[in-house]
Amino acid sequence: MFQLHTEVILFFNRFSGSSILMTTYILKPFSQGACALTLAVVAFGSAGAAPINYGDFSGATISYLQVTETANTPGDTEPLFGAPEIEGADSLDFDPSGFTATSTGGPLDITDGQLNFEIEAAPGTGLTSLLISEAGDFSFFGFGGVGTTASAGQFVRIDIMEVDNVVLAVPLVLIASGGFSSDMAATGGATLAPLEWSFDVLADFTTVLPAGFTLGVTRAEVVINNQLATNSEEDSLAFIAKKDFTITPSGVNPNAVVPEPGTLGLLALAGMMGGMMAVRQRLG
């Protein structure tokens, strides 16, 4: 006998507002893992949702401008991420409350949210990376196996517009991605309580910045495409939720030469002695 399994094999970023997903259908024997048939299906759709613009948020050394979220999948409406706030010195923190995906008895469910914003460094500062962290929980119920899944995926595109406060004629493009996935076989069956998931995506600007930069990125446009997906079998249910989403910038600049405290003290002392010598020469 054979059983039909469905698995999400691609999460792809959309900047046009349309939805794209690729699903693999695999016909497997009940007692074997050999793959007998694979079909790839690409589905296109558009949610037509109205974006929510949360406005500008300023930290100690960075500003997030025109932070906007959009729900891309049909049937899902904003807010998914919810309104953010500055956490600590410069982090932008979201606490999603309705960003979930649920599948019961077979159908695939995808919830797709997108964030658009611009980052701008304060005068005299620059950025060398963005760390994007997200976390949540997932659950499996009923009876299932590898075909009952819960996944989270993130795709980031950053167009660097300014380096060291100099506007670039052609923006530098940085792509980063990451994700999480689990299935009912991996958890040993139904979960007695929600299980935690988390992952980080590091967008390292130094991989595309020109040699010899001093401050780093001073202005950039950011698009973050984020998906949750669940798939189930005839007698199972899969659920996943996003509970935390944080963007943390870094201004640690490997090319900047910063004098150590001892060096600063010697420079100050040398300045004082130079001033005293000048006074003595005028008196003489």
The structural domains of the chain, with segments of one domain joined by +, span: 49-252
What's the pLDDT score for residue 250? 87
Q: Per DSSP, which regions of 164-234 are E strands? A: 166-183, 195-204, 217-231
Q: Give the residue ranges of DSSP H helices in 127-190.
A: none
Q: Which residues contact 20 (CB under 8 A, 6 or more apart)?
A: 12, 14, 42, 43, 44
Q: Hey, which residues does 108 pair with through a beta bridge?
A: none
What's the pLDDT score for residue 49? 64
What's the pLDDT score for residue 89? 94
Burial class (CB in 10 A: 0-12, 13-18, 19+), 270: exposed
Contact 141/232 with Cβ under 8 angstroms? Answer: no
The H or E element containing residue 114 is strand 109-121
The C-alpha atoms of residue 213 and residue 168 are separated, in whole angstroms, by 13
Sign of CA dihedral 261, 267, 273, 278: negative
The C-alpha atoms of residue 42 and residue 237 are separated, in whole angstroms, by 24
Q: Enter the DSSP assignment of 50.
A: P
Per-residue pLDDT of the chain (284 residues; tens, 9 = 90+): 333 334 443 343 333 333 333 333 333 333 333 332 222 233 333 445 689 999 999 999 999 999 999 999 998 988 999 999 999 999 999 999 999 999 999 989 999 999 999 999 999 999 999 999 999 999 999 999 999 999 999 999 999 999 999 999 999 999 999 999 999 999 999 998 999 999 999 999 999 999 999 999 999 999 999 999 999 999 999 999 999 999 999 874 544 443 343 332 333 333 334 443 443 444 44
The H or E element containing residue 263 is helix 261-283
What's the pLDDT score for residue 37? 27
Q: Enter the DSSP assignment of 88.
A: T
